[in-house]
Amino acid sequence: MPRRAATRKGPRIVLPDEWPYAEVARLDPEGRGDVCAELVPGVPVRLSPRIVRLTAPNPGMMTGPGTNSYFVGDPLADRWVLVDPGPADPVHLQALQQHAPGTVVKVLVTHTHVDHSPGAVAASAAFGAPVFGRRPAYPQGQDGTFAPERELVDGERLAIGPGTTLRVIHTPGHASNHLCYLLEEEQTLLTGDHVMQGSTVVINPPDGDMAAYLTALAALLEVDLAWLAPGHGFLVAKPHAVLRGLIQHRLRREAKVRAALETLRDAALDELLPRVYDDVPAGLHPVARRSLLAHLLKLKHDGAAAEEDQRWRMT
């Protein structure tokens, strides 16, 4: 069923295959038509009693509509955490301060890529709240200002208030230190960049790891989930179907890598690239090249491929 929604240019109809659809349906079941079908920087969106989203003004090729910062909290206890303060941008910091739904007691980060964590330093100072997350295994090109009070561990449960608990789930793959946060009371997973709406997650070795990424995606199939709240994009429904789709997408690409290796027998990365990514515009091949390397390293990890003098073959 198409749904009515609002945009900055006026009302519009949102169809079931469009990204905002699930969120519009959830926030506006009666069809008032007042839920926004755009991610507008600086405008807070109350997604549930416990979740408020505020998108940073950093749209771009790698960030889509911009990085989502989330306030997650216990409205009765007036205790909130800020997840992913975003880039170090004074405009976004001001918006975070202006729209914080209550007292912020912690700043959490999903990972330390520069669109997610550099805002933590100023947000921590502004809210008087300590920062938590994990340090990257390969810090090159990442947020060098990140200094957590303590490193979070997989399975840890953070009690924000009596009725709000965040479970820490270590999800390496996009980044070695990537964490998702599960709001247990609402079965909503803050996915950071482990799952992004509408674009393929970049797996850039060595900090990115395809084998770890697929293992972490599969592990989430064992978790009770109702919604995903991604670092880029709207709320996502049917989490397990989405996760299975992501795994299948990667395995289909891996099958193309295997087929290309079998055809060429012995090939350099740049010989494999146009065959494996023949469906991807050439302009994106520099990014795809990193993913190709990630696939090859996974095949090596699985014992299926070997590398010698920067040439790859099946074993």
Residues that bind Zn ion (CB under 5 A): 115, 193, 231
If the CB atoms of residues 64 and 73 are measured against Zn ion, the closer one turns out to be 64
- The residue number with the shortest CB distance to Zn ion is 193
CB of 60 to Zn ion, least distance (A): 10
Q: Report the nearest approach of Zn ion to the CB of residue 196 (Å).
A: 7
- Which two tokens mark 265? 């027998």
For Zn ion, the closer of residues 89 and 115 by Cβ is 115
CA 214 – CA 305 distance, rounded (Å): 18
User: Shortest gap between Cβ of 67 and Zn ion (angstroms)?
Assistant: 6
- Residue 84 CB, nearest approach to Zn ion (Å): 8
Nearer to Zn ion, 117 or 164 (CB): 117
Residues 187, 224 contacting (CB under 8 angstroms): yes
Which residue, 58 or 124, is less far from Zn ion as judged by CB? 58
CB of 115 or CB of 207, closer to Zn ion = 115
State the nearest-atom distance from the C-beta of 85 to Zn ion, in Å: 13
Residue 21 CB, nearest approach to Zn ion (Å): 22
CB of 164 or CB of 197, closer to Zn ion? 197
